[in-house]
Amino acid sequence: MAKFKTRDGTAIRYKELGEGRPVILIHGWPLSGDSWDPVMMALADNGMRAIAYDRRGFGRSDHAASGYDYDTFSDDLADLIAHLGLGDNIGLAGFSMGGGEIARYMSRHGGKGVSAAALVSSVVPYMLKTDDNPDGVPEETLQEMTKGMKDDFRAFFTDFFKDFYGVGGPGTQVSDEERHWAWMTTMQSAQYATLKSAAAFGFTDFRPDLPHFKVPTLVIHGTEDKTVPIDATGRQVAEKVPSATLIEYEDEPHAVFATVTDRLSGDLVDFFSKN
């Protein structure tokens, strides 16, 4: 199991598959880089070097005591890129809160080395409902999530993953075993990391980061996403980033990496093959 140390000494676990143009895959909350496995195989089969890592506090990375903010998350990404000695022509793909790392990397680190980016079910540009972001998630909902995690961390995620995977909705259904994997993976995370990261993606405003997207940007979002509403996120990026292209997955929920794995893999292979 490969690891590298970030600038603050946190050990981050990562893995690679294939050779060629590097594409770094950033996972969503509260999972790990393993959620990208099928996409990694598809990228590798199509001549690319797929790289995925576990965010600090999650999966098999260190459960650091601090650093659960997007400046630090983007620094961790920059440190991985430096550790691997990647130069230009890097592709980035971020699922859910992973889109925030991309947005902050583009602004804080000038998008160094990146030639294309994909935001999948991403929290960018702003999750929170405000007067100027009326389609966002109400603060009360985020507070209820926090309370649920504090009251019974394990029970909370049993219910959470029903919306996450669109159980009973109009989109593609997944197996009980897939949801059990997600629950088990979440139990590998530090509870404090999960809580701090939820606050980070729920309350961080990425709208100031959007002008820094100067590269071709693919936005993929399910129209029935109850976890990260498309109107406040994917459609906003498509409207405000000139280089962005939006693909809407009709009737699909948040977890498109599992509900429509082949379609997502195909769209990402096509995008990174051309950009």
Q: Which residues are catalytic?
A: 96, 225, 254
Rg (CA), the chain: 17
* SS3 of residue 26 by DSSP: strand
Q: 129 near 136, Cβ under 8 Å?
A: yes
Strands 217-222 and 244-249: parallel
**SS3 of 125-188:** CCCECECCECCCECHHHHHHHHHHHHHCHHHHHHHHHHHHCCCCCCCCCCCHHHHHHHHHHHCC
Beta bridge partners, 90, equal 114
Rounded to whole angstroms, the Cα distance separating 33 from 13 reads 9
